Each structure stands twice: as C-alpha cells, then as structure tokens.
Amino acid sequence: LNKKSEDLETFNDSLISNLSFEIRSPLNNILGYCELLNAPRLKAEQTRLYTKEVTKNSHALQHQVDNLIELSKIETNQYKLTYQRINLFDFFNTLHIVTLNELKLFDKDHIAIKICINEDEINFDILSDRNILRNIFWRLISNAVKFTSRGYIELGCKKYGNNNLLFWLQDSGIGIRKEKV
C-alpha cells in the first residue's frame, strides 16, 4: 500500500510538472506574440504570422485546460459516461476534416492523410461515449501532427473478428523511444 501511495504521488508530481510546462509554454508564446503585434509600423505579413501563432498557441492552451478539467472530473468520479449511437463512417469522415484542419493550422499541409476504411464494412452505428472517443482520437491526431514533419498520417478502422473493431492511427513521425513504450 505504501509503494502504491508513493507511486501515485510520483505520478501526480510528474503530471503537475508536465501540465505546468504544457500550459505555460503556449501562454508565454501568446503573450510574446501579442507584444509583437503592438509594435509600431508592423507589416501586414508579420501581423498575419503573429496572429496565426497566437491562434495556434491558443488552441494548444485550450486543449491542455480541457485535459485538466477532464482529468479532474475523472479523479473526483464526476465524469459520467453518455452512450449514444455513432455512425463509424461519419465519425471517420469527421476525423479526416479535423486532421486536415490541424495540418493547416500548423503549416503542415504537405503531410498526406490516409483514411483506411471500407464504407461497406464500417457503415454502421456503434454505442459509445462520443466525447471520449472523439477526445482519444483528437489527442492522437494532435500528437501525430505535432511530431510528424513529413510523410503521412493514417487513420483506420476495420472489423476484427466477430464482435470487435480495430481502430488505429499511424504516422511517419519520430515515434516513441523504445524505453518509453
């Protein structure tokens, strides 16, 4: 019990440290670019670039705050699952659009998006919590965009056995170090 308590404390310390960095980083960038936007005789191209950076960092900050709120709800048992029908084909089309928007936001339009689904195979509804499913994929897509500088991002879903589905997201990014896997 002591060991579990120590592990949990270490995990919480690490989480707080990481969250602090993940929140301060975009916030510092936003503040810096806002100061640059106040400079006299700013050229239109610089204004566009700075504004885009403020938008990008605002999205990153919003994502981290959402994560923190969600984690807080889970830890205090306030998160309630809401099951609803989700059409898989429509869901993956939405993920495709989300990925395109993320790539555009981070000036990575050159990265190819592969959607590996067969409409005839997955054009049916599943019963799940839409927010959880969307958030899982959103986090995976965000990481793929963040750590992929060239190549591709692939999203897929297929039937796996009789009553299972296999979901995946693969990219040509830098990957995860072996010891972190």
Q: What are phi and psi of 125, to 5 degrees?
A: -95, 145
What number of CA atoms fall less than 13 Å from residue 152's CA on the CB side?
A: 10
Mean pLDDT check: name the lowest of 72-76, 161-165, 174-178: 72-76
Each residue's pLDDT tens digit, 79-96: 888 999 999 999 999 999
Each residue's pLDDT tens digit, 100-156: 988 988 889 999 999 999 888 888 899 999 988 998 898 899 889 989 999 999 999
Spatial separation of the C-alpha atoms in residues 158 and 132, rounded to whole Å: 19
Enter the pTM of the model.
0.70
